[in-house]
């Protein structure tokens, strides 16, 4: 009796083949080398730039970005696949009917003794079956499909990070090119005033033609930089439009209305490296890929075991359609069945080997993803730190060049220097102003790269996006 009860319990509960999946741990250092704090990363990190236009553009992109819509469509597809995978373990029922008319052949042996005649056959009924997933083949398939859904979900997370980071990067670069164009406009205005002064001195005989040629050459050289900056600015505007799913001209008014200089965050909160590994969508996706491979490996092993099903059928059969619904036309059947693979030419064992190798490769990719994520974050943090140092050095250089230009102008006005020294001082000041504007943009872009490497920007957005779709 006890053995019978134990067998009944096993039949009801099933016995999954293979070990249940357990996520392997990833090692991480205690802290980042170039981070300024270990507090939790702020989800909406772009607000640290304190730019309302940037905030509005990102909110708009989260509603209208096409890549995000594609990722959400794939997520819905993966959700449906879970239902398909689980359907094999649920009872199946069909209804049907048929009609056939048959006449025996006279060319076979029995046709020589029995005259051929035509018979009609009518049938209608229901058939139900249920595979008992005793060895976990279906359950492992559901686990694999669920991991596939989680992978699609991490793709949504990764797309959110990409959209926010790419939009912020293009935006800060656009503002950087605008600042460089503003510097260029101020320099051209100053150079035009200087050229007019030199012309007056040439007419008065106080200066030679060489000084005038020099300042005119400087003006032409300065103007030559404008088309390149305008081209780069237009490229960033077009990139923003693509991320927002609009035409570039539709952004002109909004960008002009919110035009301002950007100030990158003075300090970045990176969180702990262990938090990074829990947050990065690519690491999380690699872990889910490992879970899927583990389930598929166990599912392949379950193919070696019998498939046991319960089936039942209830129907009506008769030779005449008029008799189909008579009581004597009823037929039914019920009972278990099983299939056991005996000879498959090594296909099942080869399938197990394939799935095992795939699981081993997935485990290595998971470990590699963790290492790459930590290296990516450290590199981005180092780049941001060095970009900040460059900005500070260029600010000092600009102050020194401003003072040098002022002194050169005073000495020229007092007749102590020729005009070439003034031109040289102004070239240096122009270079400092332009380099500083570019360095500020690079510093802001480096901050965006840090937040992208840290995997931030999706925690507070994704649930709302999924619910809205």
DSSP of 241-270: HHHHTS-GGGGHHHHHHT-------SS---
Average pLDDT estimate for 228-238: 92
Q: What is the pLDDT of residue 358?
A: 93
pLDDT bracket for residue 98 (50, 70, 90): confident
Q: What is the pLDDT of residue 361?
A: 95
Average pLDDT estimate for 81-102: 81
In this structure, whether the domain defined by 91-132+307-339 belongs to CATH 2.20.200.10 is answered with: yes
Q: What is the pLDDT of residue 109?
A: 53
Q: What is the pLDDT of residue 154?
A: 93
Pairwise pLDDT comparison (378 vs 16), residue with the higher score? 378
- pLDDT reading at 3 higher than 90: no
Q: What is the pLDDT of residue 240?
A: 94
Q: Which two tokens stand for residue 227?
A: 């088309």
pLDDT bracket for residue 169 (50, 70, 90): very high
Which of 36-40, 54-58, 221-225 is predicted least confidently?
Answer: 36-40
Q: Helices 66-87 and 52-64 sit at what angle, rounded to 10 degrees?
A: 40
Which of 74-88, 149-163, 328-342 is predicted least confidently?
Answer: 328-342
Average pLDDT estimate for 252-263: 78
Q: What is the pLDDT of residue 15?
A: 66
Total residues found in the chain within this entry: 469
Ranges of beta strands (E only) in 92-199 are 92-103, 118-132
* pTM of structure: 0.80
CATH architecture of 14-89+134-305+348-468: Up-down Bundle (1.20)
Q: Give the C-alpha separation, 275 to 284, whole Å.
A: 12
Pairwise pLDDT comparison (367 vs 13), residue with the higher score? 367
Q: Give the C-alpha separation, 184 to 173, whole Å.
A: 16
Domain map (residue ranges) of the chain: 14-89+134-305+348-468, 91-132+307-339
Q: What is the pLDDT of residue 36?
A: 62
Pick the most confident of 97-101, 319-323, 359-363: 359-363
Sign of CA dihedral 423, 424, 427, 429: negative
Mean pLDDT of the chain: 82
């Amino acid at each position: 009796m006890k053995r019978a009860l134990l067998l009944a319990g096993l039949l009801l509960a099933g016995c999954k083949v293979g070990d249940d999946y357990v996520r392997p741990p990833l090692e991480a250092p205690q802290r980042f080398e170039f981070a300024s704090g270990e507090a939790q990363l702020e989800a909406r990190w772009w607000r640290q730039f304190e730019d309302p236009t940037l905030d509005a553009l990102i909110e708009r992109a989260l509603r209208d970005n096409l890549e995000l819509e594609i990722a959400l469509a794939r997520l819905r597809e993966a959700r449906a696949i879970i239902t398909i995978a689980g359907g094999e373990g649920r009872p199946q029922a069909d209804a049907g009917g048929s009609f056939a008319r048959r006449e025996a052949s006279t060319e076979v042996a029995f046709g020589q003794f029995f005259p051929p005649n035509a018979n009609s056959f009518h049938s209608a009924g229901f058939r139900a079956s249920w595979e008992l997933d005793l060895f976990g083949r279906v359950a492992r398939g559901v686990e694999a499909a669920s991991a596939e859904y989680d992978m699609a979900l991490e793709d949504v997370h990764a797309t959110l990070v990409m959209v926010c980071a790419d939009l912020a990067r293009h935006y800060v670069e656009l503002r950087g090119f605008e600042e460089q164009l503003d510097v260029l406009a101020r320099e051209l205005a100053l150079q035009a005033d200087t050229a007019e002064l030199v012309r007056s001195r040439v007419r008065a005989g106080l200066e030679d033609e060489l000084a005038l040629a020099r300042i005119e050459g400087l003006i032409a050289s300065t103007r030559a930089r404008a088309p390149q900056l305008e081209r780069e600015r237009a490229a960033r505007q077009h990139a923003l439009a693509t991320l927002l799913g609009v035409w570039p001209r539709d952004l002109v008014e909004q960008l002009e209305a919110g035009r301002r200089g950007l100030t990158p965050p003075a300090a970045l909160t990176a969180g702990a490296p262990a938090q990074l590994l829990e947050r990065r969508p690519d690491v999380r996706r690699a872990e889910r890929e490992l879970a899927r491979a583990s389930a598929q490996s166990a599912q392949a092993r379950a193919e070696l075991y019998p498939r046991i099903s319960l089936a039942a059928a209830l129907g009506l059969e008769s030779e005449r359609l008029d008799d189909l619904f008579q009581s004597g036309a009823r037929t039914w059947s019920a009972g278990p069945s099983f299939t056991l693979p005996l000879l498959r030419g090594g296909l099942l064992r080869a399938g197990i080997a394939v799935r095992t190798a795939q699981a081993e490769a997935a485990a290595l990719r998971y470990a590699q993803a963790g290492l790459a994520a930590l290296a990516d974050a450290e590199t981005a943090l180092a780049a941001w730190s060095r970009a900040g140092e460059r900005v500070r050095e260029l600010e000092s250089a600009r102050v020194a060049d401003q003072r040098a230009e002022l002194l050169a102008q005073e000495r020229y006005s007092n007749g102590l220097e020729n005009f070439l020294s003034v031109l040289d001082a102004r070239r240096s000041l122009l270079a400092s102003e332009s380099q500083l504007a570019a360095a500020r943009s690079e510093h802001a872009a480096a901050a965006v790269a840090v937040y992208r490497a840290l995997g931030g920007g999706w925690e507070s957005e994704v649930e709302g996006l999924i619910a809205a779709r």
